[in-house]
Structure 1
């Protein structure tokens, strides 16, 4: 999970976003966001999707299968993508 949090930090900094901005967009405190970014807490799928949306990247851009991310989260994400495709539901580009 630490590699994912490092990715988030790097992407956030590249966009010149502060932790305060990210926290505000997520509806959490700056401390809670800092804990998330520092890998002190596990990120659930909805948080991963929201962070990806804020950073304007795909969730895979934050947390790839080859990283040390929670494989359960990756499986859930893949099942969701499979379901959307099977049911001909359009997937927003930022999630591809």
Structure 2
């Protein structure tokens, strides 16, 4: 699974709208939609924000692992 499929699945599983997640990332809804459709690459800094927000490991959100581990706390 690609990162753009993962961010969409996470958003839908948690009942958020694209507009809500776009606001979290300080981007427009259309830009966020482009992230989810794989039309625009999402910045790593935004992936980190999403991993923290959904409390999942970066390996999961990036599609490297299927294990939903919690985001490491510092």
TM-score, structure 2 normalization: 0.78
- Following TM superposition, the consecutive aligned residue runs of length 4 or more in structure 1 with deviations greater than 4 angstroms are none
Larger Rg: 1
Deviation, 1:55, is 1.8
Q: Distance in 1 between matches of 2:54 and 2:17?
A: 12
Say whether 1:33 aligns with 2:32.
yes
Q: Which residue of 2 aligns with 1:20?
A: 19
Backbone CA RMSD of aligned residues: 2.0
Equivalent residue pairs, number: 69
Deviation, 1:16, is 0.6
Structure ranking higher on relative contact order (CA contacts 8 Å, 6+ apart): 1
Q: Distance in 2 between matches of 1:58 and 1:36?
A: 19
Equivalent positions of 1:53-72 (< 5 A) are: 53-65=52-64
Q: Secondary structure at the match of 1:94?
A: coil
Choose between structure 1 and 2: higher helix proportion: 1
TM-score, structure 1 normalization: 0.62
